[in-house]
C-alpha cells in the first residue's frame, strides 16, 4: 500500500473519531477542504510539517497517523536516537553553505534546495521526538 494512502486513511479515521468534518480540519491547519480530501484519499503528498500540525490539531500521537505501532515509535524515540539525528543535522548544516559539496542518496544527486528542505524536516522530527520522550518521561 502506498504510504500516502495509508497516512491519509489514518488522518480521515482520526478526524471522524473526533467528530470533525474535512472542512473543520482544513480550517484548523490552514489548508483547503479539497486539499485535505486529497490527502485523506492518498491523492496528495503530505509534508512532515503538515502531518505534525494535523496530529496537534486532532490531539493524537503522530505515530497513530503514520500507522506505526506505538512500540516501534517508542523504540526509535530514545535519547541516543535523538543525539544521532542531531549529529546528522549538524553535518548537514556544517556543509550546506559550502560550495562543491555533492549531495546524494542511494546514488541519486539531491539538489541543494531539497537538502535544505530535508534539514528543516529533520529539525521537526527531532522536535517531535524530544516532545514524545519528554511526555513519556513525565508519565514514568
Which whole number is the average pLDDT over 48-68?
90
**pTM higher than 0.85:** no
Which whole number is the average pLDDT over 37-62?
92
Which whole number is the average pLDDT over 103-122?
92
Rounded-to-integer distance, Cα 35 and Cα 38, Å:
5
For the chain, what is the largest distance between any 2 Cα atoms, rounded to a whole number of angstroms?
52
Residue 123 pLDDT greater than 90, yes or no: yes
Instruction: Say what the pLDDT of residue 22 is.
Output: 96
Nearest-10 crossing angle of helices 33-40, 3-17: 120
Q: Tell the residue number behind the cell numbers 562543491, with chain if given.
A: 100
Q: What is the 3-state secondary structure (H, E, C) of 64-88?
A: HHHCCCHHHHHHCCCHHHHHHHHHH
Instruction: Say what the pLDDT of residue 99 is.
Output: 87
Give the pLDDT band (50/70/90) at residue 70: low
Compare 138 and 122 and report the one with higher pLDDT.
122
Instruction: Say what the pLDDT of residue 72 is.
Output: 65
Give the pLDDT band (50/70/90) at residue 31: very high
Amino acid at each position: 500500500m502506498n504510504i500516502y494512502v495509508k497516512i491519509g486513511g489514518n488522518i480521515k479515521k482520526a478526524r471522524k473519531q473526533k467528530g470533525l468534518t474535512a472542512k473543520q480540519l482544513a480550517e484548523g491547519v490552514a489548508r483547503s477542504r479539497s486539499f485535505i480530501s486529497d490527502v485523506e484519499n492518498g491523492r496528495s503528498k503530505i509534508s512532515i510539517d503538515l502531518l505534525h500540525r494535523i496530529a496537534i490539531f486532532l490531539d493524537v500521537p503522530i505515530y497513530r497517523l503514520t500507522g506505526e505501532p506505538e512500540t516501534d515509535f517508542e523504540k526509535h524515540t530514545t535519547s541516543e536516537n535523538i543525539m544521532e539525528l542531531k549529529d546528522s543535522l549538524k553535518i548537514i548544516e556544517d556543509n550546506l553553505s559550502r560550495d562543491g559539496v555533492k549531495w546524494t542518496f542511494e546514488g541519486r544527486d539531491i539538489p541543494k534546495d531539497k537538502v535544505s528542505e530535508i534539514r528543516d524536516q529533520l529539525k521537526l522530527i527531532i522536535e517531535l521526538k524530544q516532545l514524545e520522550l519528554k511526555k513519556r518521561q513525565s508519565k514514568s
